[in-house]
Amino acid sequence: ELERARRYLLGSFEIGLQTNSAKAATMAFGERYGLGYSYFMEYPKRISEVTTDDVLRVARKYINLDRYSLAVVSPPKGRECIHMNEVHG
């Protein structure tokens, strides 16, 4: 799972930097937030260094399991579908 996330992030990153304007915007972003204009060049290395322990540590820090909500969304079935059609036309 972590490897798939890495591949996605790195692929998206490369695609997002295909134009000079995108590179310039990324450099400006780095400067604006005090990271330096070349920060984006370290991104692939930083992503490749993330471990499952890092992910778990951050998840434990920011996700409170006592205060989460779960919603399941699925298409209506059978009678539910007929009822929804009557209500919503």
Domain locations in the chain?
2-88
Answer yes or no: is pLDDT of 84 > 60. no
Residues 5 and 54: their CA atoms lie apart, in Å, by 14
Residues 89 and 68: their CA atoms lie apart, in Å, by 34
Tens digits of per-residue pLDDT, 11-56?
A: 999 999 999 999 999 999 999 999 999 999 999 999 999 999 999 9
pTM over 0.85: no
User: What is the maximum span of the chain, computed from C-alpha positions, in angstroms?
Assistant: 59
